Amino acid sequence: MAYSELFTKDSVLLDLDGGDSTAVLGALTDALCAKNPELKDRRDEVLQTLMERESRGSTGTDGVGLPHVKMAGVTQVTVVVGVHQAGVEFNALDGEKVHVFFSVIRPEEGADEHIGLLRWLAGIAQHEDFVSFSCQATSKEELIALLSELASTSA
Amino acid sequence: MTSSVTQTVTVVSPHGLHARPSHAIVAMVSRVDVKVTLQFDGREADGRSILSVMSLGAVHGAEVVLKGEGAHAEEVMQRLVDFFEAGFEENA
- Encode pLDDT of A73-122 as tens digits: 999 999 999 999 999 999 998 899 999 999 999 999 999 999 999 999 99
For the beta sheet containing B43-46, the strands, ordered from the edge strand earlier in sequence to the opposite edge, are B3-10, B63-70, B34-40, B43-46
A22: containing domain: 3-154
- pLDDT value of residue A14: 96
- pLDDT value of residue A43: 97
ipTM, 2 dp: 0.83
3-state secondary structure chain B: CCEEEEEEEECCCCCCCCHHHHHHHHHHHHCCCEEEEEEECCEEEECCCHHHHHCCCCCCCCEEEEEEEECCHHHHHHHHHHHHHCHHHCCC
Res B2 pLDDT > 80: no
CATH code at position A20 = 3.40.930.10
Distance of CA A102 to the CA centre of its chain: 1
State how many domains chain A has.
1
CB contact under 8 A, A111 and B14: yes
State how far residue A89 is from chain B, nearest Cα, in angstroms. 18
Question: Which domains are seen in chain B, by residue range?
Answer: 3-89 (3.30.1340.10)
Q: In chain B, whose CA is at the least distance from the CA of A154?
A: B55
Q: Among A68, A114, A119, whose Cβ lies nearest the Cβ of B56?
A: A119
Contact A28, A67 (CB under 8 A): yes
Residues of A in Cβ contact (< 8 Å) with B14: 111
